[in-house]
Amino acid sequence: MSHLPHHAHDIFTCSNGFREVVGTYSVEVRELSLRILQLICEGLGLQPGYFGDELTKDQLLSVNHYPQCPEPSLTLGLPKHSDPNLITILYQGDVYGLQVFNDGQWIGVEPLPNAFVINIGYQLQIISNGKFKAAEHRAVTNSKEARTTIATFITPCYDSMVEPAKTLVNEFNPPLYKAFQYKEFLTTYSAKIHEPQSILEPFKLQA
Ligand SMILES: O=C(O)CCC(=O)C(=O)O
Ligand SMILES: [Fe+2]
């Protein structure tokens, strides 16, 4: 993972220590992510190392800042979506704002000190052939204080093939999704960002 501090070096040319902090954070969060994916791999009964290499090669870090909002009922920080990638490690600081959609209602995810939220993305739903569900979530604003969060997206590389894991598919559990290149998924994801309920449609196989 030594390439990560190198990327951080390219991005942050300032010399106030930011570059080192982001580099170290990225490496540590990557290790945590790979550990979680290794446990998921075992839990699903996939061959060891299934998530190694291509499926987790890329990593994106995004810092979201939601300023104080005078009318939170009129403005969302981020609209309802699921993340396109495999898993996301979210540090949400100590200001409330994340909500997850479950059984037809929005549930608040209270920030816990020194805790991360792990969000399942679409690729894990597809690879697990629907055993995992991509978490639908959004961020709300508030009128009292600004909120800053840090999301790390563990992501397949553009050219990698994604499909339901072969060991999870048999005559009783037919594949629910076709095989595709991750870049095809990203194109659809961007095109349908305002109608997220139809993002998975082109990747589904008829039962
Ligand atoms: O800021 C948050 O609480 C959520 C961020 C998020 O969902 C994202 O960046 O994809
Ligand atoms: Fe998200």
Give the sheet arrangement for strand 98-102, strand by strand.
Answer: 76-81, 137-140, 98-102, 105-108
Number of domains in the chain: 1
User: Does 179 map to a domain?
Assistant: no
User: Does 186 map to a domain?
Assistant: no
In the structure encoding, which two tokens stand for residue 162, read together?
A: 């994604």
Kindly state the percentage of the chain with pLDDT values over 90: 88
Q: How far is the CA of 82 from the centre of ligand 2 (A)?
A: 6
- CA–CA separation, 182 vs 160, rounded Å? 6
Q: Which residues contact 170 (CB under 8 A, 6 or more apart)?
A: none
Q: Choose the residue to mutate in 88, 110, 148, 150 for probing ligand 1, maximizing ligand atoms within 8 Å of C-beta.
A: 88
User: Does 125 map to a domain?
Assistant: yes
pLDDT of residue 1: 40
User: Does 37 map to a domain?
Assistant: yes
pLDDT per residue as tens digits for the range 14-63: 667 888 999 999 999 999 999 999 999 999 999 999 999 899 999 999 99
User: Does 97 map to a domain?
Assistant: yes
User: Does 187 map to a domain?
Assistant: no
**Per-position b or e across 119-141, b if 16+ CB within 10 A of its CB:** bbbbbbbbbbbeebebbbbbbbb
ipTM entry: 0.99
**Per-position b or e across 157-196, b if 16+ CB within 10 A of its CB:** eeebebebbeebeeeeeebbbeeeebeebeebbeeeeeeb
Residue 136's domain comprises 16-158
Query: Is there a contact between 93 and 151 (Cβ–Cβ < 8 Å)?
Result: no
User: Does 192 map to a domain?
Assistant: no
- CA–CA separation, 109 vs 97, rounded Å? 8
pLDDT per residue as tens digits for the range 143-163: 999 999 999 999 999 999 999
User: pTM of this prediction?
Assistant: 0.92
User: Does 30 map to a domain?
Assistant: yes
Q: How far is the CA of 155 from the centre of ligand 2 (A)?
A: 13
pLDDT of residue 17: 85
Domain of residue 132, CATH code: 2.60.120.330
